[in-house]
């Protein structure tokens, strides 16, 4: 954690800047807690294994290869 700053050693301008910064940091921390924001690595870790048992891997692979054979572009007329 950070060190404690003795405000008596700062001039008025520096103290005001620090107070404004502290307010912004508190708002940001509160917003993160209220929205439940987490890092992308946390989300990745939580999702690991979440599809297990929901999808048949052999059928998924078969569907992927079958969909590759479907032509979706219109035929070119010369």
Residue-wise pLDDT tens digits, 17-61: 888 988 998 888 777 665 555 677 777 777 787 778 888 889 999
9 or 16, higher pLDDT: 16
Q: What is the DSSP letter of 76?
A: P
Residue 72 has pLDDT above 80, yes or no: yes
* φ and ψ of 45, to 5 deg: -65, -40
- The residue whose two tokens read 């969909």 is 67
Contact yes or no for 19/7 (Cβ under 8 A): no
């Amino acid at each position: 954690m950070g060190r404690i700053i003795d405000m008596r050693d700062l001039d008025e301008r520096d103290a005001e800047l620090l107070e404004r910064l502290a307010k912004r940091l508190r708002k940001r921390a509160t917003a993160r807690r209220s929205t439940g924001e987490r890092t992308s690595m946390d989300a990745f870790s939580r999702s690991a294994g979440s599809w297990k048992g929901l999808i048949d891997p052999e059928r998924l692979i078969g569907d992927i290869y079958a969909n590759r054979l479907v032509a979706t572009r219109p035929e070119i007329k010369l």
